[in-house]
Amino acid sequence: MSYNKKEAKEKLDFSDLCIYTSTKYWNDKVSQTRYPLAIKTLKNCENLWITTIVVDSSSNEKFLSQLQTIKNIKILHNDEQMGKKRRIALQDAIDNTDAKYFLWMEPEKYDLVKDTSLLDMINSLKSWNNIVVPRRDNIDQMPEFFAWIEKRWMKRANIEAMDSAWEYDLRFWPKMFDRKSAKYFLDYNHNHDRADLRDSHIIPTIQAHKDWLHVQSVEVDYQYDHSEINIEVNRELKQKRLDQYKSILLEIIKEW
């Protein structure tokens, strides 16, 4: 029997999945590089008929006009910190969709939104897991400094918080989880005393693991876009990565 790729793709059903994210693209050089990647991500969601919720913070008009052309997407507007915006998106997904699974998504990571990776993560959740941490198959494709700090951070965070040397690629920001686990992400920072940036999906994941929920690492075939790699050599972004390294470790130490 011959394999019809188009026919197989038509049979894929992602009706149980909702992807949510936040965007903020102004008129600076980094935003101008990154917002086309976000459009690619959302177009991939559209092509797979995945319900997607985006909370945007006053982005430039060019990005917003392209956003309006994408189907199967709900756009909300809020200028809060990233963590708060994504909790707003997640709450909307829980209240207004029948999704069983939710993917916290970095808007530029379009290569993750493909049938193979998504199905691997969903199948892991169907196999009695509660949270999936996708693990990049090749971190070393990033610039040397970026890859070094990623590995250093992950090793330390895994040993100190997850009791595992390398398994969980926590610094690859996306996380997929079921409705049972959603409360960990929704309840984060209820005292308004946390950084509420990327810690707002890392620390809930760690807490769920400590509460004996099933947190599974799933390797994904992921390739960074060359334009994203190129901007990482910027001195300002190098400092930002170093600050992220310090701040998220500080949030972990504060918690445990």
Backbone angles phi, psi at 194, to 5 degrees: -115, 165
pLDDT at 67 over 60: yes
pLDDT of residue 50: 97
Q: How many residues are listed for the chain in this entry?
A: 256
pLDDT band at 118 (very low <50, low <70, confident <90, very high): very high
Q: What is the pLDDT of residue 125?
A: 97
Query: pLDDT (tens digit, 9 = 90+) per residue, 81-91?
Result: 999 999 999 99
pLDDT of 205: 95
pLDDT of residue 82: 93
Residue 211 pLDDT exceeds 60 = yes
pLDDT over 50 at 9, yes or no: no
124 backbone φψ class: left, alpha, beta (φ>0; ψ -120 to 50): alpha
Residue 254 pLDDT: 73
Cβ contacts of 223 within 8 Å, gap of 6 or more:
111, 138, 141
Give per-residue pLDDT as tens, 35-44: 999 999 999 9
In this structure, which CATH number among 3.30.70.20, 2.130.10.10, 3.90.550.10, 2.102.10.10 belongs to the domain 14-137+173-225? Answer: 3.90.550.10
Summarised one tens digit per residue, pLDDT across range 95-111 is: 999 999 999 999 999 99
At 2, the pLDDT band (50, 70, 90 cuts) reads very low
For residue 136, the surrounding DSSP H or E stretch is strand 131-136
Q: What is the pLDDT of residues 46-66, one digit of tens each?
A: 999 999 999 999 889 999 999
More confident residue, 233 or 197: 197
Q: What is the mean pLDDT of the chain?
A: 88
In the DSSP assignment, the letter for residue 80 is: S
pLDDT (tens digit per residue) in 125-162: 999 999 999 999 888 887 787 788 878 877 877 777 78
Alpha-carbon distance of 17 to 100, in angstroms, equals 6
60 and 26 in contact (C-beta within 8 Å)? yes
What DSSP assignment string belongs to 131-151?
A: EEEEEES-GGGS-HHHHHHHH
Burial of residue 193, with CB atoms counted within 10 A of its CB: 0-12 exposed, 13-18 middle, 19 or more buried: exposed
Does the pLDDT of residue 240 top 80, yes or no? no
The pLDDT of residue 11 is: 56
